[in-house]
Amino acid sequence: MTTVPPTVPVIAYIALGTNLGDRQAHLDAAFTALSALPGTRLLARSSLYETAPLGPAGQQDYLNAAAKLETTLAPRALLDACLTIEQARGRIRAERWGPRTLDLDILLYGNTTSQDPHLTLPHPAMLNRAFVLAPLCDLAPELIIAGRTLAQHLALLNQTGIRRIPVA
């Protein structure tokens, strides 16, 4: 994976999720923070999706969304910025797949593939998670990954418990 910032902006897709506190406020703050990153422009944001939690029982439902960015930040710099945004919203990493104020995952960074211990690209689980693909399909349904469009991948998944909340 390259650590040198690209000279030409790259399109990156970020998954957003939250199930603690004022979920809408966490997502709004995250979109604002992403759009304020150096060398970065928020090109589009998905609708919101309310989804059942993945992980430990007893969690509140999540609000999930996706962002399409144009950025000159290198992948690792973008990851570090996402982690900083999470921390600013009170993210505490107490348990795997546990409740969280905000979760930001880089799904795609241009055509970059990486097996870096800190950042795997494309995101290794995105094609198996309807709560990730549904908002991502709002932004790029015809994008081809692993021989299928994102919309085709989504159609193969169980979408029970995912409710679209249109952006006002």
Asked if 109 and 10 count as a contact pair (C-beta separation under 8 A), the reply is yes
45 annotated active-site: no
Per-residue confidence in pLDDT tens, the chain, 168 aa: 445 556 789 999 999 999 999 999 999 999 999 999 999 999 999 999 999 887 777 789 999 999 999 999 999 999 999 999 998 987 777 666 668 889 999 999 999 998 888 899 999 999 999 999 999 999 999 999 999 999 999 999 999 989 999 666
Q: Which of 23, 89, 100, 129 is catalytic?
A: 100
Percentage above 90 pLDDT, the chain? 76
22 annotated active-site: no
The tens digit of pLDDT for each residue in 81-108 reads: 999 999 898 777 766 666 888 999 999 9
Q: Is the dihedral of CA 104, 67, 47, 141 positive or negative?
A: negative
Q: Which of 45, 89, 91, 129 is catalytic?
A: 91
Q: Which of 61, 76, 80, 105 is catalytic?
A: 105
Q: List the one residue out of 128, 153, 123, 129 whose CA is nearest residue 140.
A: 153
* Structure confidence at residue 22 (pLDDT): 95
* Structure confidence at residue 97 (pLDDT): 64
SS (H, E, C) the chain: CCCCCCCCCEEEEEEEEECCCCHHHHHHHHHHHHHCCCCEEEEEECCEEEECCCCCCCCCCEEEEEEEEEECCCHHHHHHHHHHHHHHCCCCCCCCCCCCCCEEEEEEECCCCEECCCCEECCCCHHHCHHHHHHHHHHCCCCEECCEEHHHHHHCCCCCCEEEECCC
Q: Which of 23, 45, 89, 103 is catalytic?
A: 103
* Structure confidence at residue 54 (pLDDT): 79
103 annotated active-site: yes
Query: Domains in the chain, ordered, with CATH?
Result: 10-165 (3.30.70.560)
Cross-strand bridge partners of residue 47: none
